[in-house]
Protein backbone atom coordinates (compact mmCIF):
# COMPACT_ATOMS: atom_id res chain seq x y z
CA UNK A 1 0.00 0.00 0.00
CA UNK A 2 1.46 3.39 -0.99
CA UNK A 3 2.37 5.97 1.61
CA UNK A 4 0.49 9.29 1.33
CA UNK A 5 2.46 12.50 0.94
CA UNK A 6 2.39 14.94 3.84
CA UNK A 7 0.86 18.23 2.73
CA UNK A 8 1.54 21.55 4.48
CA UNK A 9 -2.04 21.57 5.77
CA UNK A 10 -1.52 18.15 7.39
CA UNK A 11 1.82 19.05 8.96
CA UNK A 12 0.42 20.94 11.92
CA UNK A 13 0.89 18.17 14.49
CA UNK A 14 3.97 16.41 15.83
CA UNK A 15 5.53 13.40 14.17
CA UNK A 16 4.63 10.29 16.16
CA UNK A 17 7.34 7.73 16.89
CA UNK A 18 6.75 4.47 18.76
CA UNK A 19 8.60 1.39 19.92
CA UNK A 20 8.07 -1.39 22.41
CA UNK A 21 10.48 0.39 24.72
CA UNK A 22 13.67 2.43 24.65
CA UNK A 23 15.51 1.37 21.49
CA UNK A 24 13.31 3.52 19.28
CA UNK A 25 14.87 6.58 20.88
CA UNK A 26 17.85 5.99 18.58
CA UNK A 27 15.47 6.57 15.67
CA UNK A 28 14.09 9.68 17.34
CA UNK A 29 17.62 10.96 17.87
CA UNK A 30 18.37 10.54 14.16
CA UNK A 31 15.02 12.10 13.19
CA UNK A 32 15.71 15.19 15.28
CA UNK A 33 19.00 15.66 13.45
CA UNK A 34 17.32 15.31 10.06
CA UNK A 35 14.26 17.41 10.93
CA UNK A 36 15.56 19.94 13.46
CA UNK A 37 12.46 22.17 13.37
CA UNK A 38 9.86 19.45 13.76
CA UNK A 39 7.90 18.49 16.87
CA UNK A 40 7.90 14.85 17.96
CA UNK A 41 5.80 12.68 20.25
CA UNK A 42 7.48 9.44 21.32
CA UNK A 43 5.63 6.51 22.89
CA UNK A 44 7.48 3.60 24.46
CA UNK A 45 5.20 0.65 25.24
CA UNK A 46 7.42 -0.26 28.17
CA UNK A 47 4.73 -2.25 29.99
CA UNK A 48 4.61 -4.85 27.20
CA UNK A 49 8.20 -5.01 25.98
CA UNK A 50 9.79 -6.78 24.29
CA UNK A 51 7.68 -7.19 21.17
CA UNK A 52 10.29 -9.58 19.80
CA UNK A 53 9.05 -12.49 21.92
CA UNK A 54 5.37 -12.01 21.04
CA UNK A 55 3.33 -13.63 18.27
CA UNK A 56 2.75 -11.69 15.02
CA UNK A 57 -0.93 -11.24 15.89
CA UNK A 58 -0.08 -9.83 19.32
CA UNK A 59 2.54 -7.46 17.90
CA UNK A 60 0.02 -6.21 15.35
CA UNK A 61 -2.59 -5.66 18.06
CA UNK A 62 -0.14 -3.77 20.28
CA UNK A 63 1.05 -1.62 17.38
CA UNK A 64 -2.51 -0.69 16.41
CA UNK A 65 -3.30 0.33 19.98
CA UNK A 66 -0.09 2.34 20.29
CA UNK A 67 -0.55 4.08 16.96
CA UNK A 68 -4.19 4.85 17.73
CA UNK A 69 -3.19 6.74 20.86
CA UNK A 70 -0.67 8.81 18.91
CA UNK A 71 -3.24 9.53 16.19
CA UNK A 72 -5.67 10.70 18.90
CA UNK A 73 -2.93 13.11 20.02
CA UNK A 74 -2.93 14.64 16.52
CA UNK A 75 0.29 13.37 14.97
CA UNK A 76 0.87 14.25 11.32
CA UNK A 77 2.91 11.12 10.50
CA UNK A 78 3.97 7.88 12.17
CA UNK A 79 7.40 6.27 12.40
CA UNK A 80 7.50 2.66 13.59
CA UNK A 81 10.83 2.72 15.43
CA UNK A 82 10.75 -1.03 16.03
CA UNK A 83 11.89 -3.76 13.67
CA UNK A 84 9.41 -6.34 14.95
CA UNK A 85 6.43 -3.98 14.61
CA UNK A 86 7.69 -2.89 11.18
CA UNK A 87 7.67 -6.54 10.07
CA UNK A 88 4.26 -7.50 11.42
CA UNK A 89 2.22 -4.30 11.63
CA UNK A 90 3.24 -1.83 8.89
CA UNK A 91 0.62 -2.95 6.36
CA UNK A 92 -2.11 -3.14 9.00
CA UNK A 93 -1.32 0.39 10.20
CA UNK A 94 -1.40 1.78 6.67
CA UNK A 95 -4.78 0.16 6.15
CA UNK A 96 -6.15 1.53 9.44
CA UNK A 97 -4.80 5.06 8.85
CA UNK A 98 -4.69 5.48 5.05
CA UNK A 99 -4.49 9.27 5.25
CA UNK A 100 -1.32 9.22 7.36
CA UNK A 101 2.30 8.83 6.14
CA UNK A 102 3.65 5.78 8.00
CA UNK A 103 7.25 4.59 7.90
CA UNK A 104 8.94 1.40 9.07
CA UNK A 105 12.64 0.63 9.49
CA UNK A 106 13.04 -2.49 7.32
CA UNK A 107 12.94 -1.04 3.81
CA UNK A 108 15.25 1.93 4.48
CA UNK A 109 17.82 -0.34 6.09
CA UNK A 110 17.74 -2.82 3.21
CA UNK A 111 18.06 -0.02 0.66
CA UNK A 112 21.08 1.48 2.38
CA UNK A 113 23.03 -1.73 2.95
CA UNK A 114 22.49 -2.84 -0.65
CA UNK A 115 23.90 0.47 -1.83
CA UNK A 116 27.09 0.32 0.24
CA UNK A 117 27.92 -3.36 -0.27
CA UNK A 118 30.35 -3.86 -3.14
CA UNK A 119 30.36 -7.65 -3.13
CA UNK A 120 26.72 -8.28 -2.24
CA UNK A 121 27.83 -10.20 0.85
CA UNK A 122 25.73 -8.61 3.57
CA UNK A 123 25.56 -9.29 7.30
CA UNK A 124 22.48 -8.59 9.39
CA UNK A 125 22.35 -8.51 13.17
CA UNK A 126 18.85 -8.25 14.66
CA UNK A 127 16.55 -9.76 17.27
CA UNK A 128 15.50 -13.39 17.07
CA UNK A 129 12.00 -12.58 15.82
CA UNK A 130 13.25 -10.23 13.11
CA UNK A 131 15.78 -12.77 11.84
CA UNK A 132 13.20 -15.57 12.00
CA UNK A 133 10.73 -13.49 9.98
CA UNK A 134 13.25 -13.31 7.08
CA UNK A 135 12.09 -9.71 6.54
CA UNK A 136 15.56 -8.28 5.99
CA UNK A 137 16.66 -11.27 3.96
CA UNK A 138 13.68 -10.88 1.62
CA UNK A 139 14.09 -7.12 1.37
CA UNK A 140 17.80 -7.39 0.53
CA UNK A 141 17.28 -10.13 -2.06
CA UNK A 142 14.46 -8.14 -3.66
CA UNK A 143 17.00 -5.38 -4.29
CA UNK A 144 20.03 -7.53 -5.08
CA UNK A 145 18.95 -10.96 -6.23
CA UNK A 146 22.50 -12.30 -6.23
CA UNK A 147 23.29 -11.11 -2.70
CA UNK A 148 24.45 -13.51 -0.02
CA UNK A 149 22.89 -12.62 3.31
CA UNK A 150 24.52 -13.58 6.60
CA UNK A 151 21.77 -13.22 9.22
CA UNK A 152 22.35 -13.73 12.94
CA UNK A 153 20.17 -12.98 15.99
CA UNK A 154 21.96 -10.99 18.68
CA UNK A 155 19.66 -10.82 21.72
CA UNK A 156 22.45 -10.23 24.23
CA UNK A 157 23.18 -6.88 22.57
CA UNK A 158 19.64 -5.79 23.45
CA UNK A 159 20.20 -6.79 27.07
CA UNK A 160 23.52 -4.92 27.19
CA UNK A 161 21.92 -1.76 25.81
CA UNK A 162 19.04 -1.97 28.29
CA UNK A 163 21.58 -2.41 31.10
CA UNK A 164 23.50 0.67 29.82
CA UNK A 165 26.57 -1.57 29.42
CA UNK A 166 27.58 -0.22 26.03
CA UNK A 167 31.37 0.22 26.20
CA UNK A 168 34.34 -1.75 27.44
CA UNK A 169 35.59 -5.31 27.40
CA UNK A 170 32.27 -7.06 28.03
CA UNK A 171 30.23 -5.55 25.17
CA UNK A 172 33.24 -5.85 22.85
CA UNK A 173 33.56 -9.54 23.72
CA UNK A 174 29.87 -10.11 23.00
CA UNK A 175 30.09 -8.24 19.69
CA UNK A 176 33.19 -10.26 18.78
CA UNK A 177 31.27 -13.50 19.45
CA UNK A 178 28.39 -12.38 17.20
CA UNK A 179 30.75 -11.35 14.41
CA UNK A 180 32.70 -14.61 14.65
CA UNK A 181 33.45 -15.89 11.16
CA UNK A 182 32.26 -12.69 9.51
CA UNK A 183 35.48 -10.68 9.56
CA UNK A 184 37.51 -12.81 7.14
CA UNK A 185 37.67 -12.75 3.36
CA UNK A 186 34.71 -15.12 3.03
CA UNK A 187 32.48 -13.04 5.28
CA UNK A 188 30.27 -10.04 4.52
CA UNK A 189 31.67 -6.66 3.51
CA UNK A 190 28.84 -4.73 5.15
CA UNK A 191 26.77 -5.01 8.31
CA UNK A 192 23.19 -3.86 8.83
CA UNK A 193 22.22 -3.12 12.43
CA UNK A 194 18.68 -4.45 12.27
CA UNK A 195 17.59 -3.53 15.78
CA UNK A 196 17.06 -0.03 17.09
CA UNK A 197 18.91 -0.91 20.32
CA UNK A 198 22.14 -1.62 18.50
CA UNK A 199 23.22 1.96 17.72
CA UNK A 200 23.73 2.36 21.48
CA UNK A 201 26.64 -0.09 21.05
CA UNK A 202 27.99 1.43 17.84
CA UNK A 203 31.42 2.24 19.29
CA UNK A 204 31.96 -1.35 20.45
CA UNK A 205 30.76 -2.66 17.09
CA UNK A 206 33.07 -0.34 15.16
CA UNK A 207 36.03 -1.25 17.34
CA UNK A 208 35.55 -4.98 16.81
CA UNK A 209 34.85 -4.60 13.08
CA UNK A 210 38.02 -2.51 12.79
CA UNK A 211 37.13 -1.10 9.39
CA UNK A 212 36.46 -4.50 7.82
CA UNK A 213 32.70 -3.93 7.59
CA UNK A 214 30.70 -0.99 6.31
CA UNK A 215 28.18 -0.49 9.08
CA UNK A 216 24.65 0.62 8.26
CA UNK A 217 22.46 1.94 11.08
CA UNK A 218 18.77 1.40 10.28
CA UNK A 219 17.87 4.30 12.60
CA UNK A 220 19.91 6.75 10.54
CA UNK A 221 18.69 5.43 7.21
CA UNK A 222 15.06 5.54 8.33
CA UNK A 223 15.44 9.13 9.48
CA UNK A 224 16.81 10.15 6.10
CA UNK A 225 13.90 8.49 4.30
CA UNK A 226 11.37 10.20 6.57
CA UNK A 227 13.02 13.60 6.12
CA UNK A 228 13.12 13.20 2.35
CA UNK A 229 9.46 12.16 2.21
CA UNK A 230 8.12 14.83 4.55
CA UNK A 231 10.34 17.74 3.55
CA UNK A 232 10.40 20.77 5.82
CA UNK A 233 8.14 20.21 8.82
CA UNK A 234 7.66 23.39 10.83
CA UNK A 235 7.39 23.25 14.58
CA UNK A 236 8.82 24.49 17.84
CA UNK A 237 11.52 21.77 18.09
CA UNK A 238 9.58 20.22 20.96
CA UNK A 239 9.60 16.57 21.95
CA UNK A 240 7.12 14.83 24.22
CA UNK A 241 7.57 11.43 25.82
CA UNK A 242 4.95 8.85 26.75
CA UNK A 243 5.43 5.46 28.43
CA UNK A 244 3.11 2.68 29.52
CA UNK A 245 5.21 1.71 32.56
CA UNK A 246 7.90 3.16 34.84
CA UNK A 247 8.53 6.77 33.95
CA UNK A 248 11.54 6.67 36.27
CA UNK A 249 13.21 3.89 34.32
CA UNK A 250 12.44 5.64 31.03
CA UNK A 251 14.16 8.80 32.26
CA UNK A 252 17.12 6.83 33.58
CA UNK A 253 17.74 4.92 30.34
CA UNK A 254 16.90 7.69 27.87
CA UNK A 255 20.44 9.17 27.71
CA UNK A 256 21.84 5.82 26.50
CA UNK A 257 19.63 5.84 23.41
CA UNK A 258 18.72 9.51 22.93
CA UNK A 259 22.00 11.08 23.98
CA UNK A 260 20.29 13.50 26.36
CA UNK A 261 18.23 13.50 29.53
CA UNK A 262 14.45 13.27 29.56
CA UNK A 263 12.94 14.73 32.70
CA UNK A 264 9.20 14.66 31.94
CA UNK A 265 7.57 11.38 30.90
CA UNK A 266 3.78 11.08 30.77
CA UNK A 267 2.32 7.75 31.79
CA UNK A 268 -0.44 6.39 29.52
CA UNK A 269 -2.64 3.31 29.64
CA UNK A 270 -3.20 1.18 26.56
Considering the domain architecture, whether residues 132 and 170 belong to the same structural domain is answered as: yes
Does residue 263 lie within any of the structural domains? yes
Considering the domain architecture, whether residues 87 and 46 belong to the same structural domain is answered as: yes
CB 139 within 8 A of CB 110: yes
Structural domain boundaries, residue 48: 8-104+221-267
pLDDT on residue 4: 62
Q: What tens digit of pLDDT does each residue of 94-146 get?
A: 999 999 999 999 999 999 999 999 999 999 999 888 999 999 999 999 999 99
CB 43 within 8 A of CB 66: yes
Instruction: Please list the active-site residues.
Output: 82, 195
Round to whole Å and give the CA distance between 89 and 77.
15
Average pLDDT, the chain: 93
pLDDT on residue 1: 55
Phi, psi of 192 (to 5 degrees): -95, 125
- The domain boundary, picked from 178, 202, 218, lies at 218
CB 178 within 8 A of CB 152: yes
Considering the domain architecture, whether residues 56 and 183 belong to the same structural domain is answered as: no
β-strands 214-217, 266-267 pairing: unpaired
Considering the domain architecture, whether residues 208 and 232 belong to the same structural domain is answered as: no
Round to whole Å and give the CA distance between 122 and 192.
8
Q: Which residues of the chain have pLDDT under 50?
A: 7-10
The verdict on pTM exceeding 0.85 is yes
- CATH at residue 133: 3.40.50.1860
Q: What tens digit of pLDDT does each residue of 217-242 get?
A: 999 999 999 999 998 887 888 899 99
Considering the domain architecture, whether residues 116 and 198 belong to the same structural domain is answered as: yes
Q: How many CB atoms lie within 10 A of CB 110?
A: 29
- The domain boundary, picked from 201, 218, 235, lies at 218
Please count the residues of the chain. 270
Considering the domain architecture, whether residues 145 and 75 belong to the same structural domain is answered as: no
pLDDT on residue 8: 44
Does residue 83 lie within any of the structural domains? yes
Does residue 89 lie within any of the structural domains? yes
Considering the domain architecture, whether residues 23 and 91 belong to the same structural domain is answered as: yes
pLDDT on residue 232: 80
What's the total number of domains in the chain?
A: 2
pLDDT on residue 6: 52
Amino acid sequence: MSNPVLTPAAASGPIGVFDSGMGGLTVLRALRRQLPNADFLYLGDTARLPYGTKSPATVQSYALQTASLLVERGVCALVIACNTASVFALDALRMRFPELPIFGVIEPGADAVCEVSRSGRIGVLATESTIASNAYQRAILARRAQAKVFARPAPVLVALAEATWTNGDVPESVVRAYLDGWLGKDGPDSLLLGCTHFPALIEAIRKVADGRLKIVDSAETTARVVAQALGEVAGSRAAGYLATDSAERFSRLAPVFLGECVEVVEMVDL
